Amino acid sequence: MVRISFSNKSICLEFFNEVRKALGIKTWRELASFLGTSKSMIDGYRNKKLCLPEERFNILLNKLSINKQNYFSEFIEKKDNNWGRILGGKVAYKINKEKFNQGRKKGALNRKDAVKYDFNINLPLSQELCEFIGVIIGDGFTNKYGSRYQTQITGDKNLDRDYYFKNLKSLCESLFKIIPKIDIREDSIRLNIYSKRLFEMLTQRFKIPAGIKCYSVEIPSEILMAGSPFLNSTLKGMFNTDGGVGLDRRKTYKKPYIRINYTSASPKLIEQLHIFLLNFNIPHSINKRNNTQLVQINGEENVKRFIKYIGFSNPRSLNKISYLTS
């Protein structure tokens, strides 16, 4: 786990005060409850006595305006969870340099040069790979932490469980020959892959930003130039994660009124999606909601056109549209 350290205590205090204002809460105990931790931990974080886990930092950072996010991001440093042990190791190395060097040479002889989970990052573009890229655009991220490379996809532990275990797991195994680790948390399900090659493929080949990407991610140019089947699969992966199906059951409608939604904070991605839906002749609306934009496709006929050209493979959405496809 990566931890966040602020450059000085005053910036750290300012950050937590701004977060509390943005959330509209009055006490640090309320903030602790929001993060699912204790008040003493919050006191340690904001007084710079404890480093803040990156996951919690990102949750708080995303509650701020873009300008404030950019401001505070200039004053942070990322540290591996074992940074204290690393520091201790450096001290020990200085004390007994010769023995350390002998051990390193012996270990180097026993190691293979191959990268763990090695595969060709230029593997042929396929609809399966494009769906995976769409999932990364929607609910994924990748980053490098010291010598470790992590790619993670996060979803709802109940609604997305089948999709993660039956679809995404199989995609990872068939595409990259990697069995991902899937964790069920209190409020989420997370698929993790620790692979340098996957990090390189996402960041170098498909130009997906490492770290926080929600404001700048877009559909890669390689996919845009590859033709409709590949683009459609990418959109399917996006809608499987950041999209969804809603049924309005208000009495004003004779029967449940169906809508498909897609939400993103990336203006470029929303612009691309708008153009593609127009090309498919799928009527839709776009509405701003705080720092995000909501694309909405309303009514059975428009939803049927969406299903025809894009569709879903996530059971949570397939179950809701089953009456339209039976």
Q: Tally the C-alpha atoms within 13 A of residue 246's C-alpha that lie toward its C-beta.
A: 11
pLDDT at position 105:
53
* pLDDT higher than 50, residue 135: yes
DSSP 163: I
Q: What share of the chain is helix, strand, coil (3-state, %, to 5)?
A: 50, 20, 30
Percent of the chain with pLDDT over 70: 88
pLDDT level of residue 108 (50, 70, 90 thresholds): very low
SS3 for 51-104 is CEEHHHHHHHHCCCCHHHHHHHHCCEEEEECCHHHHHHHHHHHHHCHHHHHHHH
Task: Kindly report, residue by residue over 201-214, the tens digit of the pLDDT.
Answer: 999 999 999 998 99
pLDDT at position 149:
93
- The reply to whether 127-216 and 238-325 are identical in fold is yes
pTM of this structure: 0.66
Give the pLDDT mean for 3-15: 88
pLDDT level of residue 325 (50, 70, 90 thresholds): confident
Strand order in the sheet with 181-184: 140-145, 148-155, 189-193, 181-184
Give the pLDDT mean for 16-30: 91
pLDDT level of residue 289 (50, 70, 90 thresholds): confident
Q: Tally the C-alpha atoms within 13 A of residue 89's C-alpha that lie toward its C-beta.
A: 7
Q: Where are the domains of the chain?
A: 2-80, 127-216, 238-325
Give the pLDDT mean for 301-321: 95
pLDDT at position 91:
47
Q: Which CATH class is domain 127-216?
A: alpha beta
Fold (CATH) for 238-325: Endonuclease I-creI (3.10.28)
* pLDDT higher than 80, residue 88: no
pLDDT at position 1:
58
Instruction: Specify the higher pLDDT residue, 309 or 116.
Output: 309
Task: Kindly report, residue by residue over 44-86, the tens digit of the pLDDT.
Answer: 888 988 888 888 888 898 888 888 888 888 888 877 654 444 4
